[in-house]
């Protein structure tokens, strides 16, 4: 049943894809007619079509014909947490998928063969919890349906949710290898579960024993320690008198010892009273006996170091059957463990007259009866932590049960060795401490669950109580101890903790236990990406099982992301009603916007607040890029005809001016910055760097400066061509760099841009750009020009001159800026709205500027902007302020330079920098003063 259903789902997905491609084929926008773009980036019009193109081009599979990986590079394998198949995806999933997709696209562009194996988790307890509520609405219960029909209903349910979830992943742009879609309840996983368990059993790492487990009365199953959530609560601490026995007669006396408890109902399971060995108050009592009320059981007073003398009365009742500490005390002192509860948390027959009562009702009755006997010595409110079920919120009951456990000690040690040696690295590193602590103090893992939805434990019991663990699908042929026939054997009714099969994910999905080519090639994985909240549930388990069963760590890097919270920093939850539906976000702003919003401004392992504004940022950015590209395509000089523009050429080096060199240099710097960010797994930094580079540098200055060149009639057509090709080249670079983060808009735009010889059809498989040299000299001189334009704009705005008004400018152009000035003269005119410009090689010439001109100080440039006298008056305040700032900065720099210790101890380059700054500031102050007159 399991694998059949999964296979169906995969087939359906493929069929859908084909159908959608046919639809998209008629849509020019989706195809991206080269050289033309619609007016605006409307994600909904493009995303589906683009996704289908990737699918049909077969670029998601590592061996797909579309990827063309570089054989000299190792495969890049990402391991994703398969989401629970319980319903719609939330923003946390969107974050995970965005990060993973960003990583895999980046790796693919670098030329790695990539594997991202998608999947879904059957989520045993979570799924049952959801389904129970669904069938309750249908008037059914688990019991009324019975195991078989319940499971049928479950399959029906998950077959629906599966499609919804996979469709959501595709809308986000997830470029996983859909042909390998796996499910933790498919036959491959089932086999891996059986075989692994048998291995653990044979290796002595799986054992069946009676132990104290966490019981959820609501879910009617045991749960692991991790699924017990301690929640603060104000309870009551009662002091109860236990009567000591007369040592001679063995009968209770009036002599009492008072114990403190928050759970009087467990009195019925008490098998001792414990005090601290060095507690003088009770010195003489150790070794004597007390009688437990109601059950009339005589138990010893014992001494144990775990008892806190300061707490309560310093004497504690010991109930090994219902308390973890007490259980350990019981183990140490050989005390019997008495279980007083049923599965539904009512008291059992051991509870004598309280049998059948619910645990809380029993508590009330017992207290009443104790009061009647005069044995309640006191009570007071008590702040405490109550363990509640992660799923149902019921109060967890520690109970004795015979269950299967995994012995974790050796596995944990091997896992610790892996991170200590650096074989597996945790990002961010601070989680290593958490990892260490948890693995060091780990208790054996209770893997039995008394649920129906999940992998049945492959253990069979014969009437004589022999245990046979089998990895055969149909069970063992006979009891392996006594040889009784299979027909006489009974399989354990329990199933595995859902994380057991998840823990096998990195290899069960690659064909294990068979020694497949996939395993050889893709195990261990490169990076495992997930939220820090499942580091123990999942990451640690994969590490433990992987090392033991595969003899190798399952992955070399553990990347942990933070949680997505609402704008107020609250955890998103359905009950709070503050969840953001990723699909809604995609509908309103596009998948790229959502992806950008989830990555930008975040850092590894840190939580983030998600707000609509962030989504808008992403949408605006996509639109900005869209329009920049639209401009470049529309600005093609007539000297380059459409046919020539079909293939991207590198700009003619000989024709490059400072504008073009600046654009190239900034693009090169951006490549380096993004490379660095990716290397550090700092995806928030990568997106930020691209946002700045594309918007504040390329669009605001690169394109604006290039516009002037393109519009310059006097320019040599060959130079104009070079300008255009430079823009195309820069865009090409930026689109490649941004593609991992915003795959749709970049793919659409890149499709419309001329491709270089040898480029593939699709950006998703285009190569990552290589960082060229940064041209520092050009950046310096262009920086001066930019500063000049800014200063002029600033002066104009400050005094309120209309932006449309052309003003004459007297400009002192120092010799070293002469060439730069010549090149940028038209740009300065247009962008600063100044005309005519009177350049002067001699600064003194500025003194002849008309009275009331505005002073312009920008680096080595200095100017006088002609304006009306009243404007000039308003300008004096601006200059005065600037002067004050410059003077203050100069003063502080001089103080520093006057300090002998600074000069003696600071490194030379710092001192030199300070000197340079002093000179610069001094000059500026001088200029500003001159400008004020």
Partner RNA sequence: GGGCGGUUAGCUCAGCUGGUCAGAGCACCUCGCUUACACCGAGGGUGUCGGGGGUUCGAGUCCCUCACCGCCCACCA
Site for RNA in 803-822 (CB under 7 A): 803-804
Choose between 471 and 860: whose C-beta lies nearer to RNA. Answer: 860
- The least CB distance from residue 613 to RNA, in Å, is 4
- The least CB distance from residue 674 to RNA, in Å, is 14
Q: How many angstroms separate the CA atoms of 717 and 639, rounded? A: 7
The reply on whether position 608 binds RNA by CB under 7 A is: yes
- The least CB distance from residue 621 to RNA, in Å, is 8
The reply on whether position 627 binds RNA by CB under 7 A is: yes
* Residue among 687, 563, 624 at smallest CA distance from 106: 687
Q: Which of 308, 368, 393, 472 binds RNA (CB under 7 A)?
A: 308
Q: How many angstroms separate the CA atoms of 126 and 739, rounded? A: 36
Strands, sheet with 445-446, edge to edge from the N-terminal-most edge strand: 221-223, 206-216, 397-406, 445-446
The reply on whether position 907 binds RNA by CB under 7 A is: yes
Pair type for strands 114-116 and 76-79:
parallel
- Using CB under 7 A as the criterion, what x/- string covers residues 5-44 for binding RNA? -----------------------------------xxx--
At which residue do the structure tokens 């000069």 appear?
903
Choose between 236 and 491: whose C-beta lies nearer to RNA. Answer: 236
> Of residues 351-370, which lie at the interface with RNA (CB under 7 A)?
none
Residues 6+ apart with CB under 8 A from 190: 2, 455, 473
Pair type for strands 807-812 and 834-840:
parallel
Q: How many angstroms separate the CA atoms of 35 and 52, rounded? A: 21
The reply on whether position 325 binds RNA by CB under 7 A is: yes
Q: For residue 342, count other CB atoms closer than 10 A to its CB.
A: 17
Q: By the 8 A CB rule, do 179 and 58 touch?
A: no
Choose between 628 and 765: whose C-beta lies nearer to RNA. Answer: 628
Choose between 717 and 806: whose C-beta lies nearer to RNA. Answer: 806
Q: For residue 344, count other CB atoms closer than 10 A to its CB.
A: 10
Q: By the 8 A CB rule, do 175 and 52 touch?
A: no
Q: Which of 94, 285, 316, 690 binds RNA (CB under 7 A)?
A: 316
> Of residues 232-261, which lie at the interface with RNA (CB under 7 A)?
260-261
Please give the DSSP secondary-structure letter assigned to residue 663: H
Q: How many angstroms separate the CA atoms of 64 and 78, rounded? A: 17
Q: For residue 858, count other CB atoms closer than 10 A to its CB.
A: 21
Cα dist from 318 to 284, 301, 483, 533, whole Å: 19, 10, 43, 34
Please give the DSSP secondary-structure letter assigned to residue 481: T
Q: Which of 134, 136, 385, 818 binds RNA (CB under 7 A)?
A: 385
The reply on whether position 692 binds RNA by CB under 7 A is: yes
Query: ∠ CA 411-417-214 to the nearest 5 degrees?
Result: 35
Query: Which window, 82-90, 407-415, 614-622, 852-860, contacts RNA (CB under 7 A)?
Result: 614-622
Peptide bond into 524 cis (omega under 30): yes
- The least CB distance from residue 331 to RNA, in Å, is 13
The reply on whether position 380 binds RNA by CB under 7 A is: no
Choose between 614 and 927: whose C-beta lies nearer to RNA. Answer: 614
Query: Which window, 2-10, 451-459, 861-869, 914-922, contacts RNA (CB under 7 A)?
Result: 914-922
Choose between 399 and 614: whose C-beta lies nearer to RNA. Answer: 614
> How many Å separate Cα 631 from the centre of its chain?
36
The reply on whether position 389 binds RNA by CB under 7 A is: no
Pair type for strands 228-245 and 289-292:
antiparallel
Choose between 120 and 705: whose C-beta lies nearer to RNA. Answer: 705
Choose between 286 and 384: whose C-beta lies nearer to RNA. Answer: 384
Choose between 104 and 589: whose C-beta lies nearer to RNA. Answer: 589
At which residue do the structure tokens 């004598």 appear?
352
Q: Which of 5, 21, 159, 262 binds RNA (CB under 7 A)?
A: 262
* Residue among 709, 837, 858 at smallest CA distance from 793: 858
The values of phi and psi at residue 109, to 5°, are -70, -30
> Of residues 746-805, which lie at the interface with RNA (CB under 7 A)?
790, 793-794, 797-798, 800, 802-804
Q: Which of 314, 321, 476, 859 binds RNA (CB under 7 A)?
A: 314
> Of residues 579-598, which lie at the interface with RNA (CB under 7 A)?
none
How many residues touch RNA under the rule CB under 7 A: the total is 94
Q: Which of 407, 456, 649, 688 binds RNA (CB under 7 A)?
A: 688
The reply on whether position 230 binds RNA by CB under 7 A is: yes
Query: Which window, 1-9, 124-132, 639-647, 692-700, contacts RNA (CB under 7 A)?
Result: 692-700
- The least CB distance from residue 155 to RNA, in Å, is 32
Cα dist from 82 to 12, 79, 196, 536, 819, whole Å: 19, 9, 20, 15, 60
* Residue among 623, 628, 229 at smallest CA distance from 394: 229
Q: Which of 159, 902, 923, 930 binds RNA (CB under 7 A)?
A: 902
- The least CB distance from residue 262 to RNA, in Å, is 5
SS3 content of the chain, % helix, strand, coil (to 5): 50, 20, 30
Choose between 505 and 610: whose C-beta lies nearer to RNA. Answer: 610
- The least CB distance from residue 107 to RNA, in Å, is 22
> Of residues 697-716, which lie at the interface with RNA (CB under 7 A)?
699-700, 703-704, 707, 711
* Residue among 738, 767, 773 at smallest CA distance from 73: 767
For 194-204, b/e burial (b = at least 16 CB within 10 A) is: bbbbbbbbeee
CA quadruple 481, 487, 493, 499: dihedral positive or negative?
positive
- The least CB distance from residue 932 to RNA, in Å, is 18
Kindly report the length of the chain.
933
- Using CB under 7 A as the criterion, what x/- string covers residues 525-564 for binding RNA? --------x--x----------------------------
Q: How many angstroms separate the CA atoms of 97 and 530, rounded? A: 9
Q: How many angstroms separate the CA atoms of 87 and 89, rounded? A: 7
The reply on whether position 307 binds RNA by CB under 7 A is: yes
- Using CB under 7 A as the criterion, what x/- string covers residues 273-302 for binding RNA? ------------------------------
Torsion of CA 645, 651, 655, 660, to 10 degrees: 110
Q: How many angstroms separate the CA atoms of 339 and 837, rounded? A: 96
- The least CB distance from residue 24 to RNA, in Å, is 21
> Of residues 664-683, which lie at the interface with RNA (CB under 7 A)?
682
- The least CB distance from residue 420 to RNA, in Å, is 17
- The least CB distance from residue 313 to RNA, in Å, is 7
First CA to last CA across the chain, in angstroms?
91
- The least CB distance from residue 422 to RNA, in Å, is 19
Choose between 147 and 835: whose C-beta lies nearer to RNA. Answer: 835
Peptide bond into 836 cis (omega under 30): yes
Q: Which of 139, 422, 474, 569 binds RNA (CB under 7 A)?
A: 569
- The least CB distance from residue 183 to RNA, in Å, is 27
| Max CA distance (Å), the chain | 122
Choose between 88 and 889: whose C-beta lies nearer to RNA. Answer: 889
- The least CB distance from residue 354 to RNA, in Å, is 18
- The least CB distance from residue 70 to RNA, in Å, is 29
- The least CB distance from residue 789 to RNA, in Å, is 7
Choose between 636 and 736: whose C-beta lies nearer to RNA. Answer: 636
**Encoded tokens for 261:** 């408890």
Choose between 378 and 463: whose C-beta lies nearer to RNA. Answer: 378
- The least CB distance from residue 470 to RNA, in Å, is 33
């Amino acid at each position: 049943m399991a694998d059949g259903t999964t296979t169906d789902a995969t087939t359906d997905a493929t069929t859908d894809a084909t159908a959608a491609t046919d639809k998209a084929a008629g849509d020019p926008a989706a195809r991206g007619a080269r050289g033309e773009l619609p007016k605006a980036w409307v994600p909904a019009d493009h995303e589906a079509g683009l996704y289908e193109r990737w699918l049909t081009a077969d670029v998601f599979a590592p061996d797909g014909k579309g990827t063309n990986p570089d054989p000299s590079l190792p495969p890049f394998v990402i391991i994703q947490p398969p989401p629970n198949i319980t319903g719609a995806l939330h923003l946390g999933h969107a974050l995970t998928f965005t990060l993973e997709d960003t990583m895999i696209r980046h790796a693919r562009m670098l030329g790695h063969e990539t594997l991202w194996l998608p999947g879904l988790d059957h989520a045993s307890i979570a799924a049952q919890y959801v389904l129970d509520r669904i069938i309750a609405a249908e008037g059914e219960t688990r019991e009324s349906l019975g195991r078989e029909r319940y499971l049928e209903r479950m399959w029906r349910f998950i077959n629906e949710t599966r499609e919804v979830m996979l469709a959501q992943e595709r809308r986000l742009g997830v470029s996983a290898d859909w042909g390998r879609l796996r499910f933790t309840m498919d036959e491959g996983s089932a086999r891996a579960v059986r075989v692994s368990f048998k291995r653990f059993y044979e290796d002595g790492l799986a054992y069946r024993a009676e132990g104290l487990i966490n019981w959820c009365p609501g879910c009617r199953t045991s749960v692991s320690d991790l699924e017990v959530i301690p929640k603060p609560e104000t309870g009551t601490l009662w002091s109860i008198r236990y009567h000591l026995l007369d040592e001679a007669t063995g009968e209770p006396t009036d002599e009492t010892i008072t114990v403190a408890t928050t759970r009087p109902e467990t009195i019925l399971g008490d098998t001792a009273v414990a005090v601290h060995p060095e507690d003088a108050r009770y010195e003489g009592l150790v070794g004597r006996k007390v009688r437990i009320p109601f059950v009339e059981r005589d138990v010893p007073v014992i001494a144990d170091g775990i008892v806190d003398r300061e707490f309560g009365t310093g004497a504690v009742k010991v109930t090994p059957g219902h308390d973890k500490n007490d259980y350990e005390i019981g183990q140490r002192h050989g005390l019997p463990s008495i279980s007083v509860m049923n599965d539904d948390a009512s008291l059992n027959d051991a509870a004598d007259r309280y049998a059948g009562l619910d645990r809380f009702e029993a508590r009330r009755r017992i207290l009443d009866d104790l009061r009647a006997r005069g044995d309640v010595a006191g009570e007071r409110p008590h702040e405490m932590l109550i363990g509640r079920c992660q799923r149902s919120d019921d109060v967890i009951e520690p109970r004795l049960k015979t269950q299967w456990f995994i012995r974790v000690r050796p596995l944990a040690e091997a896992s610790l060795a892996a991170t200590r040696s650096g074989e597996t690295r945790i990002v961010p590193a601070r989680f290593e401490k958490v990892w260490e602590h948890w693995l060091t103090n780990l208790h054996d893992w209770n893997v039995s669950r008394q649920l129906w939805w999940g992998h049945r434990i492959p253990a069979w019991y014969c009437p004589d109580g022999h245990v046979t663990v089998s990895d055969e699908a149909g069970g063992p042929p006979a009891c392996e101890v006594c040889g009784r026939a299979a027909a006489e054997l009974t399989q354990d009714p329990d199933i595995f903790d859902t994380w057991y099969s998840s823990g096998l994910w990195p290899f069960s999905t690659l064909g294990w236990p068979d020694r497949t080519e996939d395993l050889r090639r893709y195990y261990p994985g490169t990076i495992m990406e997930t939220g820090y909240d499942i580091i123990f549930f999942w990451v640690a388990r994969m590490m433990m099982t992987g090392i033991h069963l595969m003899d190798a760590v399952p992955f070399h890097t553990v990347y942990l992301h933070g949680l997505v919270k609402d704008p107020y920093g609250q955890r998103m939850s359905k009950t709070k009603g503050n969840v953001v539906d990723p699909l809604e976000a995609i509908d309103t702003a596009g998948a790229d916007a959502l992806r950008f919003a989830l990555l930008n401004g975040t850092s590894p392992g840190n939580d983030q607040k998600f707000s609509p504004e962030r989504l808008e940022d992403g949408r605006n950015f996509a639109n900005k890029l869209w329009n920049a590209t639209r401009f470049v395509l529309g600005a093609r000089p007539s000297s380059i005809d459409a046919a020539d523009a079909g293939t991207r050429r590198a700009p003619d080096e000989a024709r490059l001016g400072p504008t073009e060199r600046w654009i190239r240099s900034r693009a090169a710097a951006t490549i380096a910055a993004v490379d660095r960010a990716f290397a550090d797994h700092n995806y928030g930094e990568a997106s930020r760097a691209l946002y700045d580079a594309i918007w504040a540098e390329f669009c605001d200055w690169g394109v604006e400066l290039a516009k002037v060149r393109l519009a310059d009639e006097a320019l040599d057509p060959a130079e104009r061509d070079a300008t255009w090709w430079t823009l195309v080249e820069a865009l090409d670079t930026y689109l490649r760099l941004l593609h991992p983060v915003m795959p749709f808009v970049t793919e659409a735009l890149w499709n419309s841009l001329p491709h270089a010889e040898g480029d593939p059809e699709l950006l998703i498989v285009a190569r990552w750009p290589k960082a060229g040299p940064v041209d520092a000299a050009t950046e310096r001189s262009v920086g001066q020009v930019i500063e000049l334009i800014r200063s002029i704009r600033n002066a104009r705005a400050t005094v309120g001159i209309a932006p449309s008004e052309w003003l004459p400018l007297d400009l002192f152009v120092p010799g070293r800026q002469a060439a730069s000035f010549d090149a940028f003269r038209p740009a300065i005119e247009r962008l600063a709205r100044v005309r005519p410009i009177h350049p002067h090689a001699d600064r003194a010439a500025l003194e002849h500027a008309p009275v009331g001109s505005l002073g312009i100080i920008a680096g080595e440039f200095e100017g006088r902007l002609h304006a009306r006298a009243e404007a000039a008056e308003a300008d004096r305040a601006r200059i005065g302020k600037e002067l004050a700032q410059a003077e203050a900065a100069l003063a502080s720099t001089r103080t520093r330079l006057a300090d002998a210790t600074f000069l003696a101890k600071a490194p030379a380059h710092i001192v030199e920098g300070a000197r340079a700054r002093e000179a610069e500031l001094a000059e500026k102050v001088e200029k500003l003063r001159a400008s004020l007159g």
